[in-house]
Amino acid sequence: MLKLFLLLFAGTLFALAPARTFALTPQQATPQAPAAAQPAAPTGPMPIDAANPVKPAPAVLAKAKTLFNMDCSMCHGESGNGQSDVAKSMGLTLDNWTDPKALAGKPDGLLFDIIRNGNGKMPAETKDRANDTAVWGLVLYIRSFSQSQPATAGSAPQ
Ligand code: HEC
């Protein structure tokens, strides 16, 4: 009698198992629906060897400068030297981008990826702040800090 009961019990579990899986599916799908509707869905990491498709035209660099001074300079410093009050108060040790060695070993695709997705205490620059073209512009702009003068509209080469 006990054997029969156990068999029935096991049978009931088997019968329930697919039903539970099925019941979860529509619930899981619900929170995904709004995300799928967002136009700026995450595109995944940028390949490290991706080439920068944007050219360092003066207008591109001028736009990048404006964006950098709004979203980045509070930590990295306006000259990109990594010295800022925020960096100090957060205890951040930031690379000095005026030194050509600082970014030399970091390919454009990696810089894009760090800017877009963030890294540790480095916040992500999301698509509502900057589209891909603007992020590539930031990559060009931060590289320009190690040239004698940051490439900005109006600054004459020495
Ligand atoms: C809250 C401070 C903060 C802000 C704002 C910030 N960063 Fe950073 N950034 C960091 C920190 C900290 C790191 C080092 C992260 C790590 O551990 O790799 C970093 C690293 C980077 C790196 C990787 C190369 C390197 O020198 O380590 C790039 C590129 C970069 N930041 C660009 C930017 C850009 C562009 C912006 C603006 C869109 C920005 N950051 C805004 C804190 C910040």
Condensed to tens digits (0 to 9), the pLDDT of residues 61-71 reads 999 999 999 99
* CA 4 – CA 156 distance, rounded (Å): 92
Taking CA atoms only, the protein residue closest to ligand 1 atom 17 is 120
Confidence of residue 3 (pLDDT cuts 50, 70, 90): low
Whether 154 maps to a domain, the answer reads no
Check whether residue 118 and residue 71 sit in a common domain.
yes
Q: What's residue 132's pLDDT?
A: 97
Same domain membership, residue 18 and residue 69: no
Query: Residues 74, 139: one domain?
Result: yes
Q: What is the pLDDT of residue 148?
A: 65
Burial of 120 (0-12, 13-18, 19+ CB in 10 A): exposed
Asked if residue 71 and residue 138 are part of one domain, the reply reads yes
Task: Establish if 22 belongs to a structural domain.
Answer: yes
- Tell me, in angstroms, the distance from the centre of ligand 1 to residue 74's CA: 10
Is residue 50, in this structure, part of any structural domain at all?
Answer: no
**Is the model's pLDDT at 107 over the cut of 70?**
yes
Instruction: Confirm whether 78 is domain-assigned.
Output: yes
Considering the domain architecture, whether residues 82 and 17 belong to the same structural domain is answered as no
* CA-proximal residue: ligand 1, atom 42 (nearest): 122
Confidence (pLDDT) at 33:
47
Query: How far away, in angstroms, is 76 Cα from ligand 1 center?
Result: 7
Q: Let me know if residue 11 belongs to a domain.
A: yes
CATH number at residue 104: 1.10.760.10
Q: Which domain holds residue 70?
A: 58-144
118 C-alpha vs ligand 1 centroid, how far in Å? Answer: 7
Q: Is residue 41 part of a domain?
A: no
Domain count, the chain: 2
pTM of the predicted model as reported, rounded to 2 decimal places = 0.74
Probe ligand 1: pick from 48, 108, 122, 136, max atoms within 8 Å of CB? 122
Burial 76-88 (b: 16+ CB within 10 A, else e): bbeebbbebeebe
DSSP 30: H
Query: Same domain, yes or no, for 19 and 96?
Result: no
Could you tell me if 25 and 83 lie in one domain? no
- Domain assignment present for residue 40? The answer is no
Residues with C-beta less than 6 Å from any ligand 1 atom: 71-72, 74-76, 86, 92, 94-95, 106, 111, 114-115, 119-123, 125, 138, 142
